[in-house]
Structure 1
Amino acid sequence: MIRRFGLFALVVVLGVAAGLRDGFDRWVSDTVLPPVLAETSVEVRDRNGALMRVFPVENGRIRLALTLDRVDPAYLDMLVTYEDKRFHRHAGVDPIALARAAMQAVLRGKIRSGGSTLTMQVARLLENSGTGRWPGKLRQIRLALALERRLTKAQILELYLNHAPYGGPLEGLRAGTLAWFGKAPTRLTQAEAALMVALPQSPETRRPDRHPKAARAARDRVLARVKAPERDLKAAVPDAMKPIVWLAPHLTDTLRQQDPQAPRHDLTLDATLQRQVADLARRAVAGQPRGVSAAIVVADHRNGEVLASVGSPAYAATGGALGFVDMTRAVRSPGSTLKPFIYGLAFDQGLAHPDTLIDDSPVAFGGYAPQNFDGLYRGELTVREALRMSLNIPPVLLTHELGPARLMASLRQGGAEPRLRGKPGLAVALGGVGLTLNDLVQLYASLAAGGQARPLVWRRGTEAPPGQRMMSRAAAWQVGHILAGIASPAGAATRSGQIAYKTGTSYGHRDAWALGFDGAHVVGVWLGRPDGTPVPGAFGGDLAAPILFETFGRLAAARTPLPVPPPETLILSTAALPKPLQRFRGRGAVFTGDQLAPTVTFPPDGATLRQSGEGIPLKWRSGVLPMTVLVNGAPVLTEVRRRDAIIPGLGPGFSRIRVIDATGRGAEVEVRLD
């Protein structure tokens, strides 16, 4: 009887135990897990894999994705040793640690140690729950047991590495090591690893930049636990949080908007060059009037890959410069920077050759009468000289022959998107059209690539569709050869001939440009005010060209010489050219009188002047130097190589003054002296 009762009692006890076990299993199995695939920061990397920018996740937190294979094994050993030495043996809860924590709470009346395992800490981080209170601790225990059933130890450890807090907005070991040590967690010193172990327990009260003593003490406790050598205890703790890398903000904003779901953006940019060019942009506006901004683009014209892109000197509205505006994409007037393409098209169409003579004299097309920037005229000169001097009359003459629509079509063939209201007119030759800095860099890249359009690309692995040909190889080389002969800015380290470049200034001094290329790279520089207001005295040659040459200086190690002429290039002097190419003869232009004849501008014909012991001033325009001045038929000045003079010794009464140029053309006025 007793034996049967004992057997019955044993069955009851086992049944109760089994029921408790089954209930416990259901309790754990029914646990609803929080999301374990938390959002991580979108990363932007350069052509070499270097980090360029990190976009924060919710609430501005920086959480960088990390896997175990990218973590220093010594750190992992230290973490487990200090935080949870039985991590690899328990099922999510360490009974020994919990018992110790409970005993301390009973004996001392408060919780001295939580007894939390790494899995329980992960549970707390996933739910963002507090610590120290028993209801919260019970929830962490349940969640930790459930996590251990559904995830591997490696997965749990990775969750900890991605969620542990390291002060301020930093979440995850990778964000922590970048901010505090400026490096990835692949190789850490023992002192660095110890600080990373200690920080998550109290990330704000142990922040090294705010509480260095608390940070050092916490780190040293970890070092003592792992029996680190004395030298590690003497290592300094960081005194400041390093800024998270933030390069090319305008471009990275644009690319992320284009592909918002991508977790990572791999770019063609070079992070080192990007930093250097951004610094040049900041220096370019230093000392400039309020509101002046700058933008720079560097690309490899052999494949179209952009190596650096600076949209403004500062990504902020500082100094009135509207730094948030990306000036690489802003539509502006290109000024004289389109002139090389006009000449290239003229070469292609057989209208001109670099050594063709062309007239730089007053001209009018209906109501449009362009003038040179300085108001002077040079008479007959070669196309080569006209381009190097950036004269306005010759390219307008050529555009009139080509047709403005042909010029616009060529710009589109080069990959640009010119903006124009209405039908194109001759003013497009001098900048009367809207283009962006990216447009101009692409056009000059096409010119440098032998006239073959070279679309710009910013993403690694992107192959731009083949572009159209905007001009022949020979025409492109001839233009580049002319531009390479323009003198370098004062003080430039790079000599003339090594870089083909052109500057430009838009109407009203609103935009200062410089575009140039060598055998491998093309660079574009813009300065001005984003709101379009003028910058008095701003010239492309003075402001933008020095920055262009400094940028090429940063590329010195990768510089490539300009190419040799293609075999089909016609290289002849003016006299040796075919007759139709020796002189450009336009059609339909209405010239004001003889375009080469001089015109006396002072004194006016019929003027009455007072006698002066210093002589009578005489000024004229046009004409081929040197000049001869006659008074009443007698020469008084010869071999005058200026466009002004002083006539001495005139007596009272009427005098007839005549100026004659080197070709025999002349002009005269009659004046009366009192």
Structure 2
Amino acid sequence: MRAHRWLFALALTLGLAAGGRDALDRWIDATPMPPLLSATGTEVLDRDGRTLRVYTVADGRWRLEPGQVDAAFIDMLIAYEDRRYRSHFGVDLRAMLRAAMQAVWNGGIVSGGSTLTMQTARLMEDGSTGQWAGKARQIRLALALERRLTKDQILQIYLTRAPYGGNIEGIRGATLAWFGKEPARLTPAEAALLVALPQSPETRRPDRHRDAARVARDRVLDRMARQGILSDEAASAAKLDPVPSARRPFPALAPHLADRAIADAPGALRHDLTIDARLQAQLETLAARAVRGLPSAVSVAIVLADHRSGDILASVGSAGYDSGARQGFVDMTQALRSPGSTLKPVIYGMAFDRGLAHPQTLINDAPVRFGGYAPQNFDGHFRGELTVTDALRQSLNIPIVRLMDEIGPAHLMDTMRRAGMHPELPGDHAGLAVALGGIGITLSDMVQLYAALARGGEAIPLHWRQGEGDASPTPILSRSAAWQVGDILAGLTPPPNAPSRTLAYKTGTSYGHRDAWALGYDGAHVAGVWIGRPDGTPVPGAFGGDLAAPILFEAFQRLKPAPDPLPAPPPETLIVSTAELPQPLRRFTGRSAVFAPDPGAPELIFPPEGATLAEFGAGLPVKVRGGKPPYTWMANGQPMLTGVQVPQASLPGLGAGFSQISVIDALGRSARVNIRLD
């Protein structure tokens, strides 16, 4: 009978226990769950995964994905906050019992029995810690979390949501704000401070309560030493490390490009760019320094890319990302501006491809009129007859307009569009003035155009988002024409203290000194610099050669210790002197230009045009009328006599056959005749 009673009691006890267990299971399973995923700020990363810029979440808090966290910090956190974290089921009964007994004895809560899982539950619900109702709610949610998530997943939520003072949440925001580094590697002192901060994030904020932060950090270090997590020596050494006294700014590199990335893909939380963070930081510093001493409204923009892959490595939209007089929020890499003379190299390349000219072709720089349009050189002077190479290096306007008239502005527009550019024309009509910058083009587009020159005439789209560099190249110039242009540009005199023939570069200044440009490339990279006022008003005295070119060369110096060599000429390139060129290429003659008479220009009065003369053993007598001495006499493009002060001279060494005789006065005005010697 007693045995039956005992068995009945046992069965009843087990039944009640099973029923209680089932009820507990149902209670836990029915727990209302807050969202498991926390909103985190959008991040923009460079080509190597380094942070360029981060954004706050909607409520203005800095909350980021934890990423890779130092394992030593995790060990320290668990050892200090919840030693049995890996073994309990969300609630540590031993810790709870200890906390309850202390509360009864002292008449209030003295020590917490919260596990990391319970703390995570509180963070998810933004609940209180000290009230029994709050504890009960955290216990229920902690039990539910342990059933649905792994320990590592729960820890990930904690590392995302833990408060670290002010509007900083999560371990990654904390390490960036307090130490200016990622959480992958932390010192013992840094890790200890980050363990202590979430317990009382406002009263231990290092920037406001530095002593309290130090005391809390050292308490963590002492316990780590007692538990064997750190040696006594390591803990003592860590106490000597200073506590940070101020928050560091969050990374904000390439701000204009980061904004564009988000606008382009607003739903993405991570944007991987081709930018090099180190180079970007250096060029932003260079841009800020470049405007010192310039008028307060002047800004600067820089784009640097690898022309082999099309990767944009740095994009600086302004001298500073602010709303001051320089209008730093305006991204001047994307603003339509007049390119000045920077289109001239492409026009010369097109002339080379069409057989209109060669670098050693002679072209006349003299007063000329195309209907109602009479272009002038920047300085108002004329150089007379000179080679195309010299015309490009001196950036003369009249020779390039003559070539543009022969090629046709529509063909230039087509070439730019095939290069991936988006030029905009005033009035939607391409006239001859496009050769001198009468068009709207962005700095990014100009860098893309020069990248095509650097690539031997093949254009590829420059890109700033990783994974987009797979477009097929589009030819816009032949290899030889592109090389000839680059060889001419490499011969330009560099800025003071810059090495010679390392960059093929061109400067430009738009009408009214509104825009100063410099674009150039070496064997691997291409860059462009723009300086001006964002509102388009003039900057008196601003020239591309004076302002923009030094920045261009300095940008390459920031990129690498020495430029990559420019390429060798393609085998099909014709490298000869003027006299060795085929007759049609020796001198450019346009089809529709009307050269305006200059009453003071020199006039050859002997020999007359088209004369056939016997050879003169002592030299061909020549005579000029008008012009300003001294005179330079040339035969077939080669200087024969220079510095001649009198109007007559004798040219020695002319052989039988056709010859062109030219004279240039001190003002660059010229005259020429064609004769034949028998």
TM-score if structure 2 supplies the norm length? 0.86
Whole-angstrom CA distance in 2 between matches of 1:664 and 1:503: 28
Q: How does 1:148-227 map to 2 (within 5 A)?
A: 148-227=146-225
Q: How does 1:261-276 map to 2 (within 5 A)?
A: 261-276=267-282
**Contact between 1:294 and 1:313, CA under 8 Å: does it hold in 2?**
yes
What RMSD, in angstroms, separates the aligned Cα atoms of the two structures?
2.5
**Contact between 1:627 and 1:661, CA under 8 Å: does it hold in 2?**
no
* Cα distance, 1:335 vs structure 2: 0.6
Whole-angstrom CA distance in 2 between matches of 1:284 and 1:533: 19
Aligned to 2:499: 495
Query: SS at 2:527's partner residue?
Result: strand
Aligned to 2:48: 48
Query: SS at 2:32's partner residue?
Result: coil
Deviations 1:42-99 (A, max 9, x none): 32222222222222222222222235xx333322221111111121222111222222
Whole-angstrom CA distance in 1 between matches of 2:670 and 2:483: 38
Deviates more, 1:478-487 or 1:97-106: 97-106
Whole-angstrom CA distance in 1 between matches of 2:407 and 2:69: 64
Aligned to 2:404: 399
Q: 1:97 to 1:579 in 2, by over 3 A?
A: same
Q: 1:3 to 1:450 in 2, by over 3 A?
A: closer
* Cα distance, 1:185 vs structure 2: 2.6
Aligned to 1:597: 601
* Cα distance, 1:7 vs structure 2: 6.0
Deviates more, 1:510-519 or 1:103-112: 103-112
Aligned to 2:652: none
Q: How does 1:123-142 map to 2 (within 5 A)?
A: 123-142=121-140
Q: 1:519 to 1:7 in 2, by over 3 A?
A: closer
Whole-angstrom CA distance in 2 between matches of 1:411 and 1:245: 36
> Which amino acid counterpart does residue 221 of structure 1 have in structure 2?
R
Whole-angstrom CA distance in 2 between matches of 1:457 and 1:419: 21
Deviations 1:122-151 (A, max 9, x none): 001111222211211111111001111111
Q: Is residue 428 from structure 1 mapped to residue 438 from structure 2 by the alignment? A: no
**Structure 1 gaps, min length 5:** 600-621, 629-636, 642-658, 667-674
Query: SS at 1:308's partner residue?
Result: strand
Whole-angstrom CA distance in 2 between matches of 1:662 and 1:23: 104
**Contact between 2:347 and 2:400, CA under 8 Å: does it hold in 1?**
yes
Aligned to 1:653: none
Among 305, 311, 332, the residue aligned to 1:305: 311
* Cα distance, 1:192 vs structure 2: 1.7
> Which amino acid counterpart does residue 414 of structure 2 have in structure 1?
A
Deviations 1:270-301 (A, max 9, x none): 11111111111101111111211100011111
- Aligned residue pairs, count: 614
Whole-angstrom CA distance in 2 between matches of 1:206 and 1:27: 38
Q: How does 1:617-632 map to 2 (within 5 A)?
A: 623=627, 626=630
Whole-angstrom CA distance in 1 between matches of 2:115 and 2:359: 80
Q: 1:624 to 1:280 in 2, by over 3 A?
A: farther
Q: How does 1:386-535 map to 2 (within 5 A)?
A: 386-420=391-425, 421-490=427-496, 492=497, 494-535=498-539
* Cα distance, 1:11 vs structure 2: 5.1
Aligned to 1:384: 389
Q: Is residue 235 from structure 1 mapped to residue 241 from structure 2 by the alignment? A: yes
Whole-angstrom CA distance in 2 between matches of 1:194 and 1:447: 56
Q: 1:487 to 1:362 in 2, by over 3 A?
A: same
* Cα distance, 1:386 vs structure 2: 0.8
Aligned to 1:649: none
**Contact between 1:505 and 1:540, CA under 8 Å: does it hold in 2?**
yes
Q: 1:464 to 1:506 in 2, by over 3 A?
A: farther
Whole-angstrom CA distance in 1 between matches of 2:443 and 2:63: 35
Query: SS at 2:552's partner residue?
Result: helix
**Contact between 1:626 and 1:662, CA under 8 Å: does it hold in 2?**
no
Aligned to 1:36: 36
**Contact between 1:40 and 1:65, CA under 8 Å: does it hold in 2?**
yes
**Contact between 2:382 and 2:669, CA under 8 Å: does it hold in 1?**
no
* Cα distance, 1:12 vs structure 2: 4.9
% same residue: 62
Deviates more, 1:360-369 or 1:388-397: 360-369
**Contact between 1:101 and 1:115, CA under 8 Å: does it hold in 2?**
yes
> Which amino acid counterpart does residue 318 of structure 2 have in structure 1?
S
> Which amino acid counterpart does residue 303 of structure 1 have in structure 2?
S
Among 326, 331, 353, the residue aligned to 2:336: 331
Q: 1:662 to 1:149 in 2, by over 3 A?
A: closer
* Cα distance, 1:13 vs structure 2: 4.9
Query: SS at 2:458's partner residue?
Result: coil
* Cα distance, 1:338 vs structure 2: 0.4
* Cα distance, 1:411 vs structure 2: 1.1
* Cα distance, 1:239 vs structure 2: 2.0
**Contact between 2:385 and 2:670, CA under 8 Å: does it hold in 1?**
no
Aligned to 1:647: none
Q: 1:4 to 1:74 in 2, by over 3 A?
A: same
Deviates more, 1:277-286 or 1:4-13: 4-13
TM-score if structure 1 supplies the norm length? 0.87
Q: How does 1:56-135 map to 2 (within 5 A)?
A: 56-66=56-66, 70-135=68-133
Query: SS at 1:276's partner residue?
Result: helix
Q: 1:4 to 1:302 in 2, by over 3 A?
A: closer
Query: SS at 1:60's partner residue?
Result: coil
**Contact between 2:381 and 2:667, CA under 8 Å: does it hold in 1?**
no
* Cα distance, 1:524 vs structure 2: 0.1
Whole-angstrom CA distance in 1 between matches of 2:3 and 2:475: 104
* Cα distance, 1:662 vs structure 2: 10
> Which amino acid counterpart does residue 453 of structure 2 have in structure 1?
L
* Cα distance, 1:598 vs structure 2: 4.9
* Cα distance, 1:596 vs structure 2: 9.0
Among 351, 355, 362, the residue aligned to 1:357: 362
* Cα distance, 1:241 vs structure 2: 2.1
**Contact between 1:625 and 1:662, CA under 8 Å: does it hold in 2?**
no
Whole-angstrom CA distance in 2 between matches of 1:625 and 1:106: 113
Q: 1:168 to 1:640 in 2, by over 3 A?
A: farther
> Which amino acid counterpart does residue 412 of structure 1 have in structure 2?
R
Whole-angstrom CA distance in 1 between matches of 2:224 and 2:671: 99
Whole-angstrom CA distance in 2 between matches of 1:583 and 1:290: 48
> Which amino acid counterpart does residue 532 of structure 2 have in structure 1?
G
> Which amino acid counterpart does residue 79 of structure 2 have in structure 1?
T
Q: Is residue 579 from structure 1 mapped to residue 583 from structure 2 by the alignment? A: yes
Whole-angstrom CA distance in 1 between matches of 2:336 and 2:473: 22
Q: 1:444 to 1:349 in 2, by over 3 A?
A: same
Query: SS at 2:204's partner residue?
Result: coil
Q: 1:564 to 1:595 in 2, by over 3 A?
A: farther
**Contact between 1:510 and 1:529, CA under 8 Å: does it hold in 2?**
yes
* Cα distance, 1:664 vs structure 2: 9.2
* Cα distance, 1:19 vs structure 2: 3.5
Q: 1:236 to 1:263 in 2, by over 3 A?
A: same
Deviations 1:314-362 (A, max 9, x none): 11112x1111111111111101100111111111101111111111111
Q: 1:502 to 1:368 in 2, by over 3 A?
A: same
Q: 1:423 to 1:235 in 2, by over 3 A?
A: closer
**Contact between 1:379 and 1:624, CA under 8 Å: does it hold in 2?**
no
**Contact between 2:516 and 2:548, CA under 8 Å: does it hold in 1?**
yes
Q: 1:231 to 1:570 in 2, by over 3 A?
A: same
Whole-angstrom CA distance in 2 between matches of 1:521 and 1:74: 42
Query: SS at 2:351's partner residue?
Result: helix
* Cα distance, 1:467 vs structure 2: 2.8
* Cα distance, 1:371 vs structure 2: 0.6
**Contact between 2:302 and 2:530, CA under 8 Å: does it hold in 1?**
yes
